Amino acid sequence: MNPAEYPVLNDQGVLNEVTAMSDRYEKALGENALLELDALFYNGAETVRYGVGENLYGFDEIQAFRRNRTGGSPPREVLRRVVTAIGKDVATVDLEFQRIGSDRIGRQSQTWFRSPEGWKIIAAHVSLMGTIS
């Protein structure tokens, strides 16, 4: 492949778009806005979300998990976020967070892609780091 054909990393326009989508996700998560959270995930069998205690395959499993989660996600503060754009249509968002009232650090990774309906999450992973002794 000719180097000129490689995707451009970190196009500022794409970074701005995906950062705004990440902000939108954080707001919806904090408010437990289920319809908004649904709208941010790609509605397909290809979508995967690995959570702290669950492995969810396909949009339907992710949606059902959110509907059955009493009270939504625990409140959290984002400590650090890295957005990386890969070409014009794919980006990753990786962040560290801390749940309010906890000393544990959490991590979240998302893969976003530009679909005909706009930016969507197609893969997500959430984990908590072990406690420090």
24-77 pLDDT, tens digit per residue, is: 999 999 999 999 999 999 999 999 999 999 999 999 999 999 999 888 888 999
Among candidates 67, 76, 57, which has minimal Cα distance to 33? 67
| DSSP assigned state of 5 | G
**Which residues are CB-contacts of 55 (< 8 A; sequence separation ≥ 6)?**
48
85-121 pLDDT, tens digit per residue, is: 999 999 999 999 999 999 999 999 999 999 999 999 9
pTM, entire model: 0.91
Which pLDDT value is given to residue 6? 87
In sequence order, what DSSP letters do the residues of 27-79 get, joined into one string? HHHHHT-HHHHHHHB--STT-EEE-SS-EEESHHHHHHHHHHSTT-SPPEEEE
Q: Please give the single-letter amino acid code of residue 39.
A: A
Q: How far, in Å, CA of 6 to CA of 11, rounded? A: 13
